[in-house]
Amino acid sequence: MKKIIILGGGTAGWMCAAAMARFLIPRGIAITLIESDQIGTVGVGEATLPHLRFFNQTLGIDENAFMRATLATYKMGIEFQHWGRIGDAYIHPFGEYGRELDGIPFHHLWLKARQSGRAAPLDDYALPVKAAAAGKFDFPHPNPRSILSTFSYAFHLDAGLYARFLRDFAEQLGVERVEGRVDTIGRDERGHISALKLQDGNSLGADFFVDCSGFRALLLGGTLQTPFLDWSRWLPCDSAVAVPCESNRPPPPYTRAIAHSAGWQWQIPLQHRTGNGLVYARDHLSDDQACQRLMNSLPGPTSTEPRILRFKAGRRKNSWVGNCLAIGLSSGFLEPLESTGIYLIQIAITKFLALWPQGGSYPAGRREFNRQMSLEYERIRDFLILHYHATEREDSAFWRYCRYMAIPDDLRLKMALYREQGYIVGYGHGLFLQPSWLAVYHGQRILPKTYSPQADLLALDEIDRLLSGYRRLVQKGVAAMPDHASVIARQCGMRPLPVPPTAMSLYGGIAL
């Protein structure tokens, strides 16, 4: 393999180009990215997960430089309002609830104490929950015995600025950017893609092609006709309207996801503005109604008009077909609820580089890549469905549908095991681990009938002492943490003046 062409820029294209520049150009692989300024990118994805930190670190990117360039803030979790019932609120944190003891999961100790009326609310044992709610932030402590090591963090960022930042990084390492729009796509006798002919007549050939063309999926979907698996029966929201607004308040270190009668609304704080958007199902809310509802709920003034996005939840049956790999929206989309879009870009890049077909023949690597990505998509899908299905709301047709819809078998089993005995199904690979499932189960009023008999190995008084001591540690840890805004000022310098949204960030904060 001597040359790779990436079709499409934006976050997906330039993340891919940056990683390939870092690891493949030194091996003699030429990387070319084709994009057109005439084609708008979705340009959103401002709420991220902690994995992005490690992607940047792997590329050798300085975090403070990244923060300044993307006008980012820190993120310790997501606050969900009105999901279980109207008036409910909880935070899904990037971190732990207590700590297991001798192999006994913490929540079983808490459940035993709660049954006897000797437990505080579950959130009192999660430092990232209490810190986020208090507007506090600090970096995790390297000592695993410290209470300040029990959390992680991600970022809120301007995705357009992140793509621009990565473009500069990639081009400095040797990636060639070609301006143009694809006219025709050439294929060889095997059916593999051989060349992309642009509208200006230029034809570019390569050994391997990466489709980052967004929802259009020009290569994987249009040319190779890879089937799309439609999951909209479980994730019925199909539209979003988004707009940024000014903000003069200190940015909270978490994303807000506020449920409404036909979907939910996000608020994502950056250094210079707040990203806002309303996700909805058109069967239950019109575009005009969605725009009006969003504009009436903005936390500050806006100078732009709201923009509408269309999408369908699902994925391509395979992300890697022949000599073509789809990354980002061209591979699939699972709606922005848990900020998984940039993660799915990152994990696809990471897995591809791990299975990189050095010799040019790659059937085994291709099969393994598709198997692993299928698991990633399905596990994220089920976790997102949980948010909608685990509700007691019946105040609208949308929520009645979500509450009573048939769900995938694996998710139904997971929910039954937790309801019956507090058992959280774990797996070695995948995005959302036990604390995440616990946060949503508990936050949306799913409580087990009993606790594990392991918890009876400890006397109630001993459990009470353990819980009380851990709760005090959380309180002391939060009290010692600085304000979120002061950490941003320290790491990034003075807060920048508000700037107009870039062409690629007009859509606000939807996490694609």
Name the residues annotated as catalytic.
Answer: 75
Nearest to 505 by CA among 18, 16, 47: 47
Nearest to 502 by CA among 38, 12, 44: 44
Phi-psi region of 474 (alpha: psi -120 to 50; beta: other; left: phi over 0): alpha
User: How many angstroms separate the CA atoms of 441 and 426, rounded?
Assistant: 14
Q: How far is CA 491 from CA 9, 143, 185, in A?
A: 29, 22, 46
Report how far residue 212's alpha carbon sits from residue 465's, in angstroms, rounded to the nearest whole number. Answer: 54
Q: How far is CA 97 from CA 109, 436, 462, in A?
A: 11, 10, 18
Apex 130 CA angle, 128 and 133, nearest 5: 105
**Location of structure tokens 């309801």:** 419
Residue 295 exposed, middle or buried by CB count within 10 Å (0-12, 13-18, 19+): middle
DSSP assignment of 224-251: T-PPEEE-TTTS---EEEEEEE---SPP
- Composition of the chain by helix, strand, coil, percent to 5: 40, 20, 40
Alpha helices in 182-305 (DSSP H): 287-295
Placement of tokens 């943490």 in the chain: 481
End-to-end CA distance of the chain: 31
Question: Dihedrals φ, ψ of 89, to 5°?
Answer: -155, 140
Question: Distance between CA 210 and CA 19 in Å, rounded?
Answer: 13
